[in-house]
């Protein structure tokens, strides 16, 4: 993924007024996070993004940083291979979150994001308001990558993000974030999982979320964000890892997920309506 357009969009979103993270949701029981744990969606403590105060270009950047055309110091020329440890994902998570919010604003003419994007650092755990199919609260931890409709929030675990990044490439964790944002759109549209058709409905919504991820990727291509061949190779590798198989699967197999992603990539987000006929995901866009 190229850095230039990512950071330009980051600045544009800050100017538009991006919501900030609140304290982590209260949790109970043995899975509760210590009260001293950092917020789930902590702001980056790095100084990778430095805006000139007077509108002029930054004269120089720290060793290992690069100045883009707007005078902003950036950590790498390309995010592929840029990061070396799991804790670096905190920065990359904010970049991905910002890009998806930027796409949402351009597509719908307003912010259509979850109430919170929760980043879960390594070792932090707690209970979500959503429940497991078997009963009891869902738990967020550093392996989470999910949307909870009960609190309209996306939980992103540091270790899962690092695994996608280090094993599948820089595009993989961001496409995963876009998939979870797709579930938020479904919740906003009023889609439900019917008790009598539970597995079928979950499967259809998961495949549709793959299409939404493809639509975001198509937008990123038009913004010159993608290092196209490399990033699409990352997505292909990701699809192989997350494909579902077997009669009880609730996620698409490799062919289904790839087809849905490609539909969004080439035809845009409106084309994703075809995967769930219960309610339209998108009725109109600017």
Residue 286 and residue 270: Cα distance in Å, rounded? Answer: 12
**Domain locations in the chain?**
4-275
Q: Residues 177-191: pLDDT tens digits?
A: 999 999 999 999 999
Contact of 171 with 235, CB cutoff 8 Å: yes
Is the pLDDT reported for residue 194 higher than 90? Answer: no
HSE-up of residue 169 (Cα within 13 Å, Cβ side)? 21
Residue 95 and residue 178: Cα distance in Å, rounded? Answer: 12
Is the pLDDT reported for residue 271 higher than 90? Answer: yes
Model confidence band, residue 19 (pLDDT cutoffs 50, 70, 90): very low
Is the pLDDT reported for residue 26 higher than 50? Answer: no
Q: Residues 36-78: pLDDT tens digits?
A: 333 444 333 322 222 223 333 434 666 667 766 656 677 787 7
Is the pLDDT reported for residue 103 higher than 70? Answer: yes
Token pair in block for residue 214: 């493809």
Contact of 182 with 214, CB cutoff 8 Å: no
Separation in Å, CA 188 to CA 25, 61, 158, 165, 226: 21, 43, 26, 29, 28
Residue 81 and residue 107: Cα distance in Å, rounded? Answer: 30
Model confidence band, residue 286 (pLDDT cutoffs 50, 70, 90): low
At 113, which helix (H) or strand (E)?
Answer: none
Out of 20-34, 204-218, 243-257, least confident range: 20-34
Share of the chain above pLDDT 90, in %: 39
Give the per-residue pLDDT at 20.
Answer: 28
Residue 67 and residue 81: Cα distance in Å, rounded? Answer: 18
Is the pLDDT reported for residue 15 higher than 50? Answer: no
Cβ atoms within 10 Å, residue 54: 4
Q: Which residue has the higher pLDDT, 83 or 72?
A: 83
Is the pLDDT reported for residue 18 higher than 60? Answer: no
Cβ atoms within 10 Å, residue 282: 18
Q: Quote the mean pLDDT of the chain.
A: 75
Task: For the chain, state the CA radius of gyration.
Answer: 19
Contact of 213 with 264, CB cutoff 8 Å: yes
Give the per-residue pLDDT at 175.
Answer: 93
Out of 41-50, 115-124, 144-153, 261-270, least confident range: 41-50
Give the per-residue pLDDT at 22.
Answer: 33
Token pair in block for residue 123: 């070792």
Long-range contacts (CB closer than 8 Å, 24 or more residues apart) made by 131-138: 137/29, 137/31
At 65, which helix (H) or strand (E)?
Answer: none
**Non-local CB neighbours of 101 within 8 Å, separated by 6+ positions:** 13, 18, 111, 113
Token pair in block for residue 209: 């979320």
Model confidence band, residue 260 (pLDDT cutoffs 50, 70, 90): very high
Q: Residues 245-259: pLDDT tens digits?
A: 677 777 778 888 889
């Amino acid at each position: 993924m190229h850095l230039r357009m990512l950071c330009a969009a980051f600045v544009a979103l800050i100017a538009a007024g991006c919501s900030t993270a609140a304290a982590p949701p209260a949790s109970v029981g043995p899975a509760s996070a210590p009260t001293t744990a950092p917020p789930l969606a902590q702001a980056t403590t790095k100084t990778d993004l430095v805006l000139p105060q007077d509108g002029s270009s930054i004269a120089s950047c720290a060793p290992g940083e690069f100045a883009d055309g707007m005078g902003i110091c950036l950590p790498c020329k390309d995010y592929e291979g840029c990061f070396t440890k799991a804790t670096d994902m905190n920065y990359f998570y904010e970049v991905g979150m910002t890009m998806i919010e930027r796409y949402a604003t351009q597509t719908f003419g307003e912010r259509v994001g979850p109430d919170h994007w929760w980043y879960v650092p390594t070792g932090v755990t707690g209970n979500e308001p959503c429940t497991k199919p078997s009963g009891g609260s869902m738990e967020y931890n550093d392996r989470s990558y999910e949307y909870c409709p009960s609190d309209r929030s996306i939980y992103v675990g540091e270790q899962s993000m690092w695994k996608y990044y280090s094993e599948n490439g820089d595009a993989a964790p961001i496409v995963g974030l876009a998939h979870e944002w797709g579930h938020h759109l479904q919740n906003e549209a009023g889609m439900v999982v019917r008790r009598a058709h539970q597995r079928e409905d979950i499967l259809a919504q998961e495949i549709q979320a793959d299409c939404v991820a493809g639509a975001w990727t198509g937008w990123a291509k038009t913004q010159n964000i993608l290092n196209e061949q490399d990033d699409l190779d990352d997505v292909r590798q990701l699809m192989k890892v997350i494909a579902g198989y077997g009669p009880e699967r609730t996620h698409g197999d490799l062919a289904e997920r790839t087809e849905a992603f490609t539909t969004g990539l080439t035809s845009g987000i409106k084309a994703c309506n075809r995967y769930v006929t219960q309610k339209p995901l998108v009725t109109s866009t600017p």
